[in-house]
Amino acid sequence: MPVTDVTTDTETRTVTITAEFAAPVERVWQLYADPRRLEQVFGPPTYPATFVEHELRPGPRRSTT
């Protein structure tokens, strides 16, 4: 996954991931919208991810300042 930045906010319990993809935005959105698909590509193969809770919603970027 071509991640360029990861920002965590422990107060709101959120993670903001910035990445660049060589794919149409619709295809990338489908990947992030389906937690089972996301588990297949999130993290290195030796450390698979499991998403217990998954809330994906469109909206503006949150400012970290």
Structural domain for 33, as ranges: 24-50
Which pLDDT belongs to residue 52? 84
9-46 residue pLDDT tens = 999 888 888 888 899 989 988 988 898 888 887 777 78
User: How many separate domains does the chain show?
Assistant: 1
- Count of alpha carbons within 13 angstroms of residue 21, beta-carbon side: 15
Question: Is the residue at 57 inside a domain?
Answer: no
CB crowding 22-36: b at 16 or more within 10 Å, else e: eeeeeeeeeeeeebe
Question: Is the residue at 11 inside a domain?
Answer: no
pTM: 0.52
Question: Is the residue at 32 inside a domain?
Answer: yes
